Chain A
Amino acid sequence: EVQLLESGGGLVQPGGSLRLSCAASGFTFNNYAMSWVRQAPGKGLQWVSSITASGGSTWYADSMKGRFTVSRDNSESTLNLQVNSLRAEDTAVYYCAKGEPGNSYGAPQIWGQGTLVTVSS
């Protein structure tokens, strides 16, 4: 069974940083692109970032470029998202998603349970 377990969320002050992680199991991690998608309270879904299976290519939503960094450790089956210079509008549940087979950009097939990031003073 595919499992994605996010961690690292919490309460952080504006301008602060967090490192989100996603532990994957139940599939051959290094065969799939992965993504982060977020959802602000009461709002819709927003694509945050994606990384190819090898980790050789990454993509970011425009509002996150320069502040967020996605990475993966294929030896540990872990996906990471370093989030810096956080703003109130970054408050959201951050979902880790396993990419659809054959989709280089990691369009979501399976979703994790999410981790809540709250940016507030």
Chain B
Amino acid sequence: QAVVTQEPSVTVSPGGTVTLTCGSSTGPVTSGHYPYWFQQKPGQVPRTLIYDTYKKHSWTPARFSGSLLGGKAALTLSGAQPEDEADYYCLLSYVGPGVFGGGTRLTVL
């Protein structure tokens, strides 16, 4: 089974910009992996932020965006807010259902 890798932890300053990445052990991540990004705040249920690489839901704050960057899926947060402090998980699809990354703990400090 493929392994999906994320940075274990990242820190960003309030108002700053940060990019989280999501890599695959099988090679470059492409749009064919239909990357998803989820946010989970402490004690809360996960929430889907981004699907199919860059598509947003109505509830996704505009400061979040998804892309492909350097062979990985990327989640960029522009203008970090204290409420963005959370765990972020990516999901990549292979043959059949996907594989979650281990998650990135984002600290806004």
A binding-site residues for B, Cβ under 8 Å = 35, 37, 44-47, 49-50, 59, 61-62, 95, 100, 103, 105-114
> Do A100 and B51 form a contact, CB below 8 Å, given A44-B89, A107-B91?
yes
A51–B102 alpha-carbon span in the complex (Å): 24
> Do A107 and B36 form a contact, CB below 8 Å, given A47-B99, A59-B96?
yes
Contact at A111–B91, with CB atoms within 8 Å? no
Interface status of B64 (Cβ within 8 A of chain A): no
User: Which chain B residues lie closer than 8 Å to A61 at the CB level?
Assistant: 97
Can you give 21 contacting A-B residue pairs, CB < 8 Å? A35-B97, A37-B46, A44-B87, A44-B102, A45-B100, A47-B98, A47-B100, A59-B97, A61-B97, A95-B46, A100-B51, A103-B51, A105-B96, A107-B93, A107-B97, A107-B98, A108-B38, A109-B48, A109-B57, A111-B45, A112-B45
User: Which chain A residues lie closer than 8 Å to B26 at the CB level?
Assistant: none
B binding-site residues for A, Cβ under 8 Å = 1, 34, 36, 38, 40, 45-48, 51-52, 57, 87, 89, 91, 93, 96-103
User: Which chain B residues lie closer than 8 Å to A47 at the CB level?
Assistant: 91, 97-100
Q: Name the residue on A nearest B45 (C-beta).
A: A111
Contact at B98–A113, with CB atoms within 8 Å? no
Q: Which of A62, A100, A105, A111 contacts B47 (CB 8 A)?
A: A111
> Do A107 and B103 form a contact, CB below 8 Å, given A47-B97, A59-B97, A113-B45?
no
A37–B52 alpha-carbon span in the complex (Å): 19
> Do A103 and B34 form a contact, CB below 8 Å, given A44-B102, A44-B103, A46-B100?
yes
In the complex, how many angstroms separate the beta carbon of B92 from the nearest chain A beta carbon? 10
User: Which chain B residues lie closer than 8 Å to A37 at the CB level?
Assistant: 46, 100
